[in-house]
């Protein structure tokens, strides 16, 4: 079966339409947190009081998570159905609980819904949403299928989930204006750091990726090399954040981010000793420390002037 051909066929007597529970599982609510959190960091970093624009901020968080991010999960699972049949056959599409081409239909419908909501939030948000949707389809779908290369695919995800969501959150609060330089710099650095987070997700799929020709970093570099790359990708941008916070005379928040990074370093040491066995462990305990630093940095720059 080709990537653009028919989906895996369920057994006889299978349902024609997906059950709501299967659709919800396909959209993976647990994955919505990163872009929603990044959007919230953008809202905070804008310096505009939340209550001044609360309905718009809440609508933007809905757009970032349950719409754009959920769509990206659906299209990824549709084009990963052969890999998932090897790695995780219980998922909704390979198991037949999302029958026929419904995985593709749901991704298309959620794309339309995302654009409709984005159009209510102004030109900048609509443009950013178009870019986010393009990256989501380009990551998963032929002919680009950026996920076939771990460097490009993870960069696309990191930029979309963290940087684009952060900048959009700030822009929404600023009435559609381009956010100031400190906001853009933090969004860029945490986008780079998110590259490492994306790599952590690839360890569980190494065998299927290898069989299907997907050159994730664990496949390209081996488990040990990919673990080192992920740790460096997460740590170095945080060092840059600390340096910027000190430059902006925010020593308290710089110390907070440094403390969180030190805690991550202890967990990284354990992860590096057993990358495959501890990737999920580090995702569960190290990543929350990383994203906590994002909010500390966002709070630090609320009152900064627009210049560097």
Q: How far apart are CA 93 and CA 85, in angstroms?
A: 9
**Tell me, what's the pLDDT at 2?**
40
Tens digits of per-residue pLDDT, 212-261?
788 999 999 999 999 999 999 999 999 999 999 999 999 999 999 999 99
Nearest alpha-carbon partner for 116 in 71, 157, 159: 71
**Tell me, what's the pLDDT at 305?**
61
**Tell me, what's the pLDDT at 16?**
86
**How buried is residue 283: exposed, middle or buried, by Cβ count under 10 Å (0-12/13-18/19+)?**
middle
- C-alpha distances out from residue 161 to 95, 119, 210, 223, Å: 28, 20, 25, 24
- Proportion of the chain in helix, strand, coil states, percent, rounded to 5: 75, 0, 25
**Tell me, what's the pLDDT at 107?**
97
Q: How far apart are CA 238 and CA 260, in angstroms?
A: 9
Tens digits of per-residue pLDDT, 6-42?
445 544 445 688 999 999 999 999 999 999 999 999 9
**pTM as predicted:** 0.88
**Tell me, what's the pLDDT at 14?**
55
Q: How far apart are CA 284 and CA 241, in angstroms?
A: 22
**How many Cβ atoms from other residues are within 10 Å of residue 14's Cβ?**
12
Question: What domains appear along the chain, each with residue ranges and CATH number?
Answer: 20-300 (1.10.357.140)
In this structure, what token pair is assigned to residue 184? Answer: 């853009």
The answer to whether the beta carbons of residues 132 and 88 sit under 8 Å apart is no
The structure tokens 């650095």 sit at 189
One pLDDT digit (tens) per residue for the chain, 308 residues = 344 444 455 444 456 889 999 999 999 999 999 999 999 999 999 999 888 788 889 999 999 999 999 999 999 999 989 888 887 899 999 999 999 999 999 999 999 999 999 998 888 888 989 999 999 999 999 999 998 999 999 999 999 989 999 999 998 898 877 889 999 999 999 999 999 999 998 998 888 788 878 899 999 999 999 999 999 999 999 999 999 999 999 999 999 999 999 999 999 999 999 999 999 999 999 999 999 999 999 999 997 765 44
């Amino acid at each position: 079966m080709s990537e653009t051909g028919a989906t895996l066929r369920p057994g006889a007597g299978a349902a024609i339409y997906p059950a709501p529970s299967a659709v919800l599982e396909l959209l993976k609510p647990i994955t919505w947190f990163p872009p929603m959190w990044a959007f919230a960091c953008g809202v905070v970093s804008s310096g505009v009081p939340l209550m001044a624009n609360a309905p718009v901020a809440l609508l933007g968080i809905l757009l970032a998570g349950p719409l754009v991010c959920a769509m990206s999960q659906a299209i990824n699972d549709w084009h990963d159905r052969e890999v998932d049949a090897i790695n995780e056959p219980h998922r909704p599409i390979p198991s037949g609980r999302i029958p026929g081409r419904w995985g593709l239909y749901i991704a298309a419908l959620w794309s339309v819904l995302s654009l409709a909501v984005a159009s209510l939030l102004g030109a900048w948000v609509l443009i950013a949403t178009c870019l986010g949707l393009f990256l989501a389809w380009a990551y998963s779908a032929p002919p680009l299928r950026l996920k076939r290369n771990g460097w490009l695919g993870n960069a696309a995800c990191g930029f979309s989930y963290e940087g684009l969501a952060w900048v959009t959150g700030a822009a929404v609060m600023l009435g559609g204006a381009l956010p100031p330089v400190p906001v853009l710099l933090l969004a860029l650095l945490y986008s780079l750091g998110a590259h490492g987070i994306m790599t952590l997700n690839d360890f569980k799929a190494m065998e299927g990726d290898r069989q299907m020709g997907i050159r994730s970093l664990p496949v390209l570099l081996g488990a040990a090399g990919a673990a080192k790359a992920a740790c460096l990708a997460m740590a170095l941008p945080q060092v840059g954040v600390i340096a910027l916070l000190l430059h902006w005379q925010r020593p308290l928040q710089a110390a907070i981010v440094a403390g969180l990074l030190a805690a991550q370093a202890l967990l990284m040491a354990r992860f590096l000793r057993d990358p495959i066995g501890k990737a999920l462990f580090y995702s569960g305990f190290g990543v929350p420390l990383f994203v906590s630093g994002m909010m500390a940095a966002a709070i630090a720059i609320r009152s900064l002037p627009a210049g560097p």
